Every structure is written in structure tokens, then in C-alpha cells.
Chain A
Amino acid sequence: MNRLIGHLDADCFYVSAERVRHRCLRGLPCGVLSNQGACVIAKSYELKAKGVTTAMPIWDAVPLCPDAVFVKRDFRWYKVLSRRMYDLICQRSPAVEYYSIDEMFFDATGWGWDETRALQAEILHGIGVPVSIGVAATKTLAKLASDLNKPFGCFMILTDEDRRQLIRGIPIIEVTGIAKRSARKLEQCGITTCDQYAAAYPRLIRKLLTVKGEQLLLELGGVPCFPIATRRTTHKALARGGSLGGATNDPAKVAGWVYRNMERLVEALDHHLMFTEKLTLSLQFREGGGLSKRASLPEATAEFHALAQAGLHLLEFCWPRSVRHLRVEYMHVIANRLQPRSCWQRGLFKAKQTDSRVTAVKQSINDKIGRFALRTAATLPLVEMYADDTNDYDICDVYGKTCF
């Protein structure tokens, strides 16, 4: 029996998730707004039809669609529905890849149209989210099939003729893994569509787009190269951060954000059972430009106090007193060179020991009462941010995704 892979993609997932709990949004042009309430991060098909695009600021979207209703994002809720979809597919398939919050690959070997449509209907009626499903011999073809048949599409590629019809004339940029730069390189060789790409000379593609490009070519030809990853590969780096919720040059607030992001980074390190050897702090300023600095730690650690001190040290270099007039708009802290806690290289010099009991108490309280219920006092200036519960949960807090 030929192996088949299914790709399930929720249609305008964030909007659909909002419609599950707010029936009044059904059928209306609706946009979900970003963390700051400024940009559209998800749009309904009704809103898309008016010309509103993802990442468009609300003030540009409203003139295009004055009747549009905008909703605040709630990643906690989206995760709940995402997990429900995942659990439901797990009941139907022996191998499921949690690709992203709204996309999953699954083993569909032996499936026919009936099983595929039944899954689609079950998710719609049981969870309330419309999904599109593509089934093919490879992940790339399955994803292309579901993407090209949205919304609420269901498409199976069972024969070579089906495959040829699917990829014929489709712009190569539609293939996940071919970004604009790669597309430009291919265009210079006269390759602009998927069928041209699939028929190209593999060695040429490898030369242009490395072995990844060659694997995509094979996948488009129906030869599976990418298996269903039921577990995420080990992270090479972990990052936390983002917008500061309005640019600021208040040193207490900026330092508060270093602590806040560090608390989240430590949480991620703990979740993945990792230590970090290097720490990077990256800032972007409202006035333009930015600075990024990296520091090596005395030894690999996930200890909050050590990382926070390193972060503040880096802040002095990224945002020295001479440029304190610049307002910090975005901040990221990145743990580089990760080491698994089961097997890690100790430092040559004994690092200063801090009282881990405080961290343990903090963690146990937060586990019981809620995330960030007990947090470092240095984050007190971030009043506005902590006043809003939804800030406690971001898309990167949805663990287990194999993509992003």
C-alpha cells in the first residue's frame, strides 16, 4: 500500500477560533489584531475580499472595510482549539506532526475520500473550526493541495496524473520552502512554476538551492523526502521578546523588560531541559536602527539570576548612556549554544552560586497560582503589560510545534 501523508490547515484559524466562542462574528468581515492592537494578524475571507492583508495596520484596513469587526488576540484560546484538533487527528492516525498552531501533518496511508471528508466534518462539527485537507504521497504535495483548495477544501492526490494537474502552472513561490530570494534565483534559470521546477535537472537545483531545494524537487515529483516529525528536533537557539508595547527610554522600564524576557527565556530553557552557554540581547529603536550584543557565560546555565545579570550587562553595551535618548521599541533575548541538561560541559572555573531555593519557591507558587503570579520586583514598572492577562501567553508559548 502506498504511503500517504495528510496536511490539515485550519481556515483563517484565529478568526475561526473567535467565531467558535462568539457566534455574532460568523459571516462578518473580521480581523484579529496583533499584540499591540495595531496590525491585522489574521483576517476572515470576507475581510480578505475587501483587500485587507495580513500585517496591515488597522487604520489602513478600516477604510477598505468600514464594517469590519476587530478582535483582540487570545493565544491561550487558540491553543486550546489547536490541541483539540491535534487530539482528534491522533485518534484517526498513527503518526501526527504538530507543524504549527493551525497546521498538522498526519499519516493517511489507506485513507480515501470518505475518511478525509469525515475528518473534516468531524473537526467542523465537533470543534467548530473549518479546515482544509490535502492528501498526497509527500508533505510538500499534501500542503500544496490543501493550500490551493482553501477554504474548506478537501483534495487527494492519488495518481501521477492528479499530481501533474495540481502543480501545473502554479507559481513556485506557493511551495513552502521557496522564498522570494530562491524564487528569483530560479527565475533567472527560467523556472517560475511548480511543474517546471519538478521537471528541472536535480543537480542544477542543488547548485542553486542546496540539498533542501533538491529534496523539494523530489517531493514535488512524488518522492517522499521529509518524514512526519512526531517530535520536534532539538532547538539550536531559544529566543523570547518582541515589542515593548510602546517605545520607551525609561531605564527602569527597559531594565524591567530585560527581566521579564529573561523570566520567559528561563521558562523555555526549563521546558526544553536546556542550558545556554551564550546570551544575546538585541534592541531596536523607534528612531531607527538597533544594536545586538552577545556574551559568553562562565558556564552553561539556565539560572535566572545569572542570565538576568548577563542581560543587564549587555544592556549597557546595546543602550549605553550616550544614546539613552533613543527609545527602545523591540527587545529580544536569545539563548545561543544550547546544551542538554543530561549532558553538558561544565566551566573550568566555578561559577558563583546563587540561592536556587528562591527560584524553586517562585516556580512552585507560579505553578499553583498562575504564570507570573510571583515575579521579580524589577518588572514592577511594566504596570500596563501585567494588567492584561492575555500578555501572559504568546504564540511562542505554544510548545511542541515543529515549524514555528
Chain B
Amino acid sequence: MCQALALQLDDVPDILHNGQRHRRYQREGIPELRFSFDNRNPELPVIYEGQFLILPWGNKQRRARLPVTGWCAVEQLEAGQWQWLRPDAVTIPANFGCEKGRWFLIEAGVRGILVQDDSGTEHVYLLTEPATHYYEIMCRHSRMPALIDQRI
């Protein structure tokens, strides 16, 4: 799947630099923001209606009446199983993705969906699809993130 994403600080709007200290990381001296589902309150960067936002990643803490996961299978979405949540398509910007400790390049971002819980709070789920043979060997996982204009 995709347990974490990283976005280089240069690609994050300046206005959002503050308040992100807890996810700042230096990869060989190059600053980036890391978004991991392992965090207690995981969040993801999202581009929605032209805006760059940072929103809760799925429903890990079971605080909302939403699927208790951080991912949504493309097949389920297409089958209408998420229709009751009226999901909106979003782009999750990222430079790198990580699964089982293996970081891989993300060229244009990952597809995601944005849904609202009962209180109107927005949550984002990362879309996944069956892994290609290449990804499966590389990351040892049968599912991979739904990458935009990219095939691993």
C-alpha cells in the first residue's frame, strides 16, 4: 500500500511552513514534510479546488462515522461502495511514497478522495489499486497507491 508520503519543503506553500515542525525531516540535508499513517493523528496534504490543505488522513481514531482506515480501493469506489459519503476527488501532492520502509518516487501525486463526517470535518482517503508486479517486488505489497500519470 503506502504507509507514508514525503513532500519536499520547497513544494509546500510558505504559509503552511509554520506549524509543521513536528513533521519536518531532513533527508540528506534536504528538508521535507513527512506524513505517516503511523502517527497518532495522521494527516495528508491535499490539493482541493485549487487550495493546498492539510487534512486528517482517514479515520484512524474512530472519531467519526467513517470507514476506519486510511485507504480506499479504487474498485470499491467504482462499485459505488463509498457513494453514501459523496466523495470528491482530490490530488495528494507528494515527492516520495513509502511502503515497508522503501521509499519510491512519486512524479505527479496520488489520487485521493475527500469525504465529510457528521460534523462537517473533512477527511481524506488515499486511493489504492492492485499492485503491478514491479511494485509488488519492490515494496512487497499486493496493493499500491493510485498514482497520477505514473506507473511503477
Asked if B103 and A70 make an inter-chain contact with CB atoms under 8 angstroms apart, the answer reads yes
Name which residue of chain A comes closest to B95, CB basis: A24
Asked if B95 and A72 make an inter-chain contact with CB atoms under 8 angstroms apart, the answer reads no
| A-side interface size class | 20 to 34
What are 21 A-B contacts with C-beta separation under 8 Å?
A18-B105, A24-B8, A24-B11, A28-B30, A36-B134, A37-B133, A37-B136, A37-B137, A37-B152, A58-B138, A67-B27, A68-B103, A69-B103, A70-B103, A70-B104, A70-B105, A72-B134, A384-B132, A388-B132, A388-B151, A389-B151
Residues of B bordering A, CB below 8 Å:
8, 11, 27-30, 95-96, 101-105, 107, 132-138, 151-152
Asked if B138 and A62 make an inter-chain contact with CB atoms under 8 angstroms apart, the answer reads no
Q: Is the interface of B mostly helix, strand, loop or mixed?
A: mixed
List A contacts of B151 (CB < 8 A): 388-390
List A contacts of B138 (CB < 8 A): 33, 37-38, 58, 70, 72
List A contacts of B102 (CB < 8 A): 58, 62, 70
Given the interface pairs A22-B107, A69-B104, A70-B103, the reply to whether A28 lies near B134 with Cβ below 8 Å is no
Please measure, in the bound complex, the distance between the C-alpha atom of A235 and the C-alpha atom of B87, giving whole angstroms. Answer: 59
Please measure, in the bound complex, the distance between the C-alpha atom of A390 and the C-alpha atom of B134, giving whole angstroms. Answer: 11
Determine whether A66 belongs to the interface, using a CB cutoff of 8 Å to chain B.
yes
Asked if A71 and B105 make an inter-chain contact with CB atoms under 8 angstroms apart, the answer reads yes
Given the interface pairs A62-B101, A62-B102, A388-B151, the reply to whether A67 lies near B28 with Cβ below 8 Å is yes
Please measure, in the bound complex, the distance between the C-alpha atom of A69 and the C-alpha atom of B102, giving whole angstroms. Answer: 7
Please measure, in the bound complex, the distance between the C-alpha atom of A72 and the C-alpha atom of B105, giving whole angstroms. Answer: 8
Given the interface pairs A70-B138, A388-B151, the reply to whether A246 lies near B133 with Cβ below 8 Å is yes
Question: What's the least CB distance linking B70 to chain A, in Å?
Answer: 22
Given the interface pairs A33-B138, A37-B137, the reply to whether A22 lies near B105 with Cβ below 8 Å is yes
List A contacts of B135 (CB < 8 A): 37
Given contacts A38-B138, A58-B138, 9 further A-B contacts (CB under 8 A): A24-B8, A27-B29, A28-B27, A33-B138, A36-B137, A37-B152, A66-B101, A70-B103, A246-B133
Determine whether A241 belongs to the interface, using a CB cutoff of 8 Å to chain B.
no
Determine whether A25 belongs to the interface, using a CB cutoff of 8 Å to chain B.
yes
List A contacts of B30 (CB < 8 A): 27-28
Question: What's the least CB distance linking B23 to chain A, in Å?
Answer: 15
Asked if A27 and B28 make an inter-chain contact with CB atoms under 8 angstroms apart, the answer reads yes
Asked if A384 and B28 make an inter-chain contact with CB atoms under 8 angstroms apart, the answer reads no
List A contacts of B11 (CB < 8 A): 24
A9-30 with Cβ < 8 A to chain B: 18, 22, 24-25, 27-29
Name which residue of chain A comes closest to B134, CB basis: A37
Asked if B105 and A46 make an inter-chain contact with CB atoms under 8 angstroms apart, the answer reads no
Name which residue of chain B comes closest to A61, CB basis: B102
List B contacts of A66 (CB < 8 A): 101
Please measure, in the bound complex, the distance between the C-alpha atom of A138 and the C-alpha atom of B133, giving whole angstroms. Answer: 46
Question: What's the least CB distance linking B59 to chain A, in Å?
Answer: 29
